[in-house]
């Protein structure tokens, strides 16, 4: 029962459409109808500004952390169950991409993935975040930074940790594959030179 509750909790928390709700409640806008059409932090920055964009980013990262450390998992001492941790992470990402609350049209899952990997492998996640920032700042492409970080994550994990739990290794590789799938259109635009650059200091407040 604790495992079932945890999995249900993971989906419902992952499915919280932060960008959509912030836009609709405070700005009377559905961010999915503007900019890139994505219900994520980057599009929230672009459409609504720095403050709501920052809130959406941090909240979505926290969602990822919370599904791994939810009350049922902690209370029943299930933190050591590596397979359950990965299952919760996958379910949460699915919820983020296909949220039941707003017609199953969600974000790409990068921020919530960051929260999940921070919970599971904090040092590796920090290094992968550094890869993202370097690529993002140097190129201006959020998508390029996200893709590079997702590919760097399993490589860094395999280099840093000697005894990797099999399910964590599979999850790390899956992160790269999932990022490729959710960024398919971005990759096409990058190859054509049509991807929008982002200069965060120019976002409206």
Mean pLDDT in order along the chain per 10 residues (205 residues):
88 97 96 92 92 96 92 70 88 96 93 94 94 92 94 94 88 92 92 82 53
Q: What is the structure's pLDDT at 199?
A: 66
Structure tokens at 187: 């990759």
Q: What is the structure's pLDDT at 77?
A: 63
Domain residues for the domain of 14 are: 2-202
Burial of 99 (0-12, 13-18, 19+ CB in 10 A): buried
Q: What is the structure's pLDDT at 62?
A: 96
Tell me how many domains the chain contains: 1
Q: What is the structure's pLDDT at 16?
A: 97
Contact 44, 56 (CB under 8 A): yes
Rounded to two decimals, what is the model's pTM?
Answer: 0.86
DSSP string, the chain: -HHHHHHHHHHHHHT--HHHHHHHHHHS--GGGSTT---SHHHHHHHH-HHHHHHHHHHHHHHHHHHHT-HHHHHTT-TT-HHHHHHHHHHHHHHHHS-GGGTT----SHHHHHHHHHHH-HHHHHHHHHHHHHHHHHH--HHHHHHHHHHHHHHHHHHH-SS--HHHHHHHHHHHHHHHHHTHHHHHHHHHT-PPP--GGGS--
Q: What is the structure's pLDDT at 5?
A: 87
**CA-wise closest residue to 179 among 134, 127, 117:** 117
């Amino acid at each position: 029962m604790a495992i079932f509750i945890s999995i249900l909790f993971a989906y419902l928390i992952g499915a919280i459409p932060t960008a959509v709700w912030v836009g609709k409640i405070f700005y009377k806008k559905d961010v999915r109808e503007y900019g890139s059409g994505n219900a994520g932090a980057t599009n929230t920055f672009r459409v609504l500004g720095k403050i709501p964009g920052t809130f959406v980013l941090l909240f979505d990262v926290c969602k990822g952390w919370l599904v791994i450390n939810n009350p049922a998992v902690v209370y029943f001492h299930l933190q050591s169950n590596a397979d359950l941790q990965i299952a919760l992470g996958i379910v949460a990402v699915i919820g983020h991409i296909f949220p039941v609350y707003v017609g199953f049209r969600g974000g790409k899952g990068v921020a919530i993935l960051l929260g999940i990997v921070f919970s599971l492998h904090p040092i590796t996640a920090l290094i992968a975040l550094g890869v993202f920032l370097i690529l993002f700042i140097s190129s201006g492409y959020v998508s390029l930074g996200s893709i590079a970080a997702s590919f760097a994550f399993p490589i860094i994990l395999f280099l840093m940790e000697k005894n990797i739990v099999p399910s964590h290794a599979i999850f790390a590789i899956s992160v790269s594959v999932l990022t490729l799938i959710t960024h398919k259109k971005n990759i096409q635009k990058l190859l054509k030179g049509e991807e929008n650059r982002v200069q965060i200091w120019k976002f409206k407040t």
